[in-house]
Structure 1
Amino acid sequence: MTAPLTPPHQPHSQPHGDTPWPEPFPKPAPDVPGARHEVRDALGVVALSALAGVVFGLLWLWLAPRIPLISDGKAVFLKNSEGEAAIGADGTFALLGLGFGALAGLLVFLWRRHGGVGLVLGLAAGGLAGSAVAWGVGSFLGPTDDVVAHARAVGKGVAFDAPLELNTVGALLAWPIAAMILHLALTTLFGPRDAEPEWGPWEQVPPRRTEP
């Protein structure tokens, strides 16, 4: 009886010239912050956006057109019946919101180029917070909302400014929408790409031979 060529306790050796298939060697993925870091970054974006809302409110108070009112001693009327000034106040707020949102999206991208859900949520919440703060600052520092007392103080036939109001609440969304759109666009175009696996030179690998 002839002894087996390959002992049973040893692995079967590959035939001569047979080369195993190369394994992929993926590049290490770029460092991505964990959930705790994303929450921290999101809260930081919200806090800074709320502080920027103060500047936003001051600019709105400065740039928004005034609505002149006048009193005849019995009632208060619009001095100009057209009412473009009321629309102008909302438009000014929306345009400022778009500008602040675009600036926030750009700065956050330059700060954290990897993007992430936390930053997007931080931009959305921060935009709403900044817009709300701007609305409050502009309304608080603007003309008083007690129109009757103001009319009595200035006297009959004297024009005075109406309170600075935001008639279109949807203008509050200008900041967060602009911030998210610009940040997502910049991340898509210029953000880091996922590493692709590197494969060996397939053309140099001889075909695997099957054993009987």
Structure 2
Amino acid sequence: MTREVRAFAVTVLILATLGVAAGLSWSAISPRAPYQLTERGPVLADLTTQALIAADGWFAVITGALGLLCGGLAWFAGRRWMLAVLLGLCAGGVAGSFLTLWAGSTFTIGAVVVEAAAEPGVRIVPGALKLTAQGVLVAWPLLAVGLFGLLEGMHGYRESPLRQPYGIEP
């Protein structure tokens, strides 16, 4: 029982650590939306900007790729404790996604260039990095658990006696 708990905890901790690194890379890659400063506070300067959608897309690409990588590595490395590792992938993927969101929106890495057409004298500033499509938060755990299940299903079918019809031996 303690080995299963250890496998679960190690899986969650590894994915959480990867979440912080993924957040920093998301912050470095994603564009920032332009905002103009007004008396009421910052207002989106360019209503046709694609920067908000691009930030969501980069989040999905980074966390989705990490989900596939973690799911494949977990299946190969965690052969003894399948259920604990699978549950760790699910919980760690959720934690990793939220830590990616937190780290990416908290720290600004890389050059932030904002371009927008504004009136003279209006100050344009880069906006904070945030998600507008909250559904991309499930990309990491969904792809990790999905690939893990697919690999386990293919492996189970390969060794299954049902593969040989009518009990014929090869």
Normalised-by-shorter TM-score class: 0.7 to 0.9
- What TM-score do the two structures reach when normalised by structure 2? 0.77
> Which stretch of structure 1 is more off in the superposition, 89-98 or 51-60?
89-98
Give the aligned partner of residue 144 of structure 2.
179
Equivalent residues of 1:109, 1:115 under 8 A apart: no
Partner AA of 1:172 in structure 2:
L
Asked if 1:88 is matched to 2:54, the reply is: yes
Structure label with greater radius of gyration: 1
Q: Per residue, is there more helix in 1 or in 2?
A: 2
Compute the displacement of 1:78 (Å): 2.4
Equivalent residues of 2:4, 2:81 under 8 A apart: no
Q: How do 1:70-109 residues align onto structure 2 when only pairs under 5 Å count? A: 70-71=36-37, 76-109=42-75
The runs of 5 or more residues in structure 2 that have no matched partner are 110-120, 162-170
Equivalent residues of 2:7, 2:81 under 8 A apart: no
Give the aligned partner of residue 123 of structure 1.
89
Q: How do 1:32-51 residues align onto structure 2 when only pairs under 5 Å count? A: 35-51=1-17
Partner AA of 2:72 in structure 1:
L
* Coordinate RMSD, CA, aligned: 2.5
- What TM-score do the two structures reach when normalised by structure 1? 0.63
Asked if 1:167 is matched to 2:132, the reply is: yes
Counterpart secondary structure, 1:126: helix
Partner AA of 2:48 in structure 1:
E
> Which stretch of structure 1 is more off in the superposition, 53-62 or 109-118?
109-118
Question: Number of paired residues?
Answer: 150
Equivalent residues of 1:50, 1:133 under 8 A apart: yes
Distance between the aligned counterparts of 2:133 and 2:122, measured in 1? 30
Distance between the aligned counterparts of 1:194 and 1:114, measured in 2? 19
Compute the displacement of 1:194 (Å): 7.1
Distance between the aligned counterparts of 1:161 and 1:52, measured in 2? 26
Compute the displacement of 1:193 (Å): 4.2
Counting aligned pairs with the same residue, the percent is: 32
The runs of 5 or more residues in structure 1 that have no matched partner are 1-34, 144-155, 196-212
Distance between the aligned counterparts of 1:82 and 1:178, measured in 2? 31
